[in-house]
Amino acid sequence: MIDISMPRLSDSMEEGTILKWLAAEGAQIKRGDELAEIETDKASMVYEADQEGALHILAGEGDTLPVGAPIAQLLAAGEQPSQAGSADTGTAAPEPAAEQASVAPAPVPEAAAVAAVAEAGNAAGARVKASPLARRLAAGAGIELTALAGSGPGGRVVKADVERALQAGAAPQSNGPAPSPLAPPKGEVEIVELSRTQSLIARRMAEAKATIPEFTLQCEIDMEAAVALRTQLKGLAERQERQVPSFNDMVLKACALALREHPRANGTYKDGRFELHPRVNVGVAVAAADALLVPVVRDADTSSLWSIAAQSRRLALAARDGTITPPDLAGGTFSVSNLGMFGIDAFTAVINPPQAAILAVGSLAQRAVVREGQLVARHTMTVTLTCDHRILYGADAAEFLGSIRELLEQPLALMG
């Protein structure tokens, strides 16, 4: 018998949700067969078998389990499934007779009302087997789980069963007094459940603000030479049928070269020591559907500007259409966030832990500036560097930001 546990599919993954089993109960599995689609904290991945045997499913679709928890077993011919693993599947064991007796429910806080409905199950008998997601959906729609025929393993009610009931027009069941006719002063509240990616973002941003002693530096960069260089590159790219580097690609390359020159900015503070990373992997923030993803351009310091342009386009498209993979999101040592395309002149970005810093890029536009005592129009851009003060000090950060500015104001260095 081979136990299959919830795999760790990304470096920050702590738990995963089984979206769909791609193999049926009892199916004969071979190495490389697709077993299940699993949602991680960063993306959805197909998990493939690395062993052989008959599949016995322990965790249902919609179940969320920590990394390492059993989700299935592979059985040899004539072998019976182990009962030990089934304890972690979320399937309830029969309750003692005394606990099955009808008892008047005590008042519960409003915040626990939905959970109470979901856990109610069959008031006259054993608790209905259902995935946590199916319970939440049924509770929200007012559908009794006892009225549904489960299609999951062992008759378990899963998300698809609830959705079929909703499409068929199942009548909501009333479990309490009629609601008050008086509308809430703020109107009817819409509850939006966070996706796993949104939950991770919320947790990591709260961690960053609570644990990182940050400070920010800001400077204005004269982009006149960069604008002229991109005009030349655009003509060259059209003739060679290549991707035209954007100004953000130039920023990525400038950051990568500056990180190589200032290794502490490419490091991490961890457990009272500095960890300096040998590779320069720059993440670029991408606004995806209801989430913020940071795909990583690897070895950006040794990649050409043309290569960075191609990589960043591919990663941005994958992030927006939902095909991004965990490896594309892992291994970043520094991040860049650009809101200039939205007309934002300057802003402060939140550090993506455990990185040492993040660069926020504002809009590039012609502005009135003073040059040699004369008021002239120049293309300028404001950037803001947010730093972890435990690894980057003021002077270090100022020199690092100065290197970025120098590279962008003399952009021929980016072509090396």
pLDDT grade for 119, boundaries at 50, 70 and 90: very low
- The CATH number covering residue 62 comes to 2.40.50.100
Instruction: Report the C-alpha gap between 165 and 149 in whole angstroms.
Output: 10
For residue 41, the model assigns a pLDDT of 66
Q: What is the pLDDT of residues 264-277, one digit of tens each?
A: 999 999 999 999 99
Instruction: Report the C-alpha gap between 416 and 109 in whole angstroms.
Output: 64
For residue 105, the model assigns a pLDDT of 40
For residue 154, the model assigns a pLDDT of 66
- Reported in sequence order, the residue ranges of 43-182 that DSSP labels E, i.e. its strands, are 44-48, 53-57, 64-66, 70-75
For residue 195, the model assigns a pLDDT of 78
Of 88, 118, 135, the domain-final residue: 88
Do 73 and 219 sit in the same domain of this protein?
no
Identify whether 93 is part of a domain: no
Per the document, the length of the chain is 416
Do 212 and 69 sit in the same domain of this protein?
no
Neighbours of 80 (CB within 10 A): 9
Of 88, 116, 149, the domain-final residue: 88
Do 82 and 212 sit in the same domain of this protein?
no
- Check whether 321 has a pLDDT greater than 80: yes
Neighbours of 209 (CB within 10 A): 11
276 vs 155, residue with greater confidence: 276
Q: How many domains is the chain built from?
A: 2
Helix (H) or strand (E) holding 368: strand 357-371
For residue 127, the model assigns a pLDDT of 61
Please count the CA atoms within 13 angstroms of the CA of 192 that sit on its side-chain side.
Answer: 5
Of 26, 59, 88, the domain-final residue: 88
Closest CA to 366 of 226, 220, 225, 224: 224
Do 241 and 378 sit in the same domain of this protein?
yes
Which residues participate in catalysis according to the annotation?
389
For residue 132, the model assigns a pLDDT of 67
Residue 108 has what DSSP assignment?
A: -
For residue 101, the model assigns a pLDDT of 36
What's the rounded mean pLDDT across residues 103-121? 38
CA 365 remoteness from chain centre? 32
Identify whether 188 is part of a domain: no
184 vs 179, residue with greater confidence: 184
Identify whether 119 is part of a domain: no
Q: What is the pLDDT of residues 211-246, one digit of tens each?
A: 999 999 999 999 999 999 999 999 888 888 888 999
Q: Contact 334/322 with Cβ under 8 angstroms?
A: no
- The CATH number covering residue 256 comes to 3.30.559.10
Neighbours of 137 (CB within 10 A): 23
For residue 92, the model assigns a pLDDT of 38
Do 82 and 225 sit in the same domain of this protein?
no
Instruction: Report the C-alpha gap between 166 and 143 in whole angstroms.
Output: 9
399 vs 144, residue with greater confidence: 399
Identify whether 347 is part of a domain: yes
Do 84 and 215 sit in the same domain of this protein?
no
Identify whether 290 is part of a domain: yes
Do 224 and 356 sit in the same domain of this protein?
yes
Identify whether 315 is part of a domain: yes
- Domain span including residue 69: 2-88
Identify whether 115 is part of a domain: no
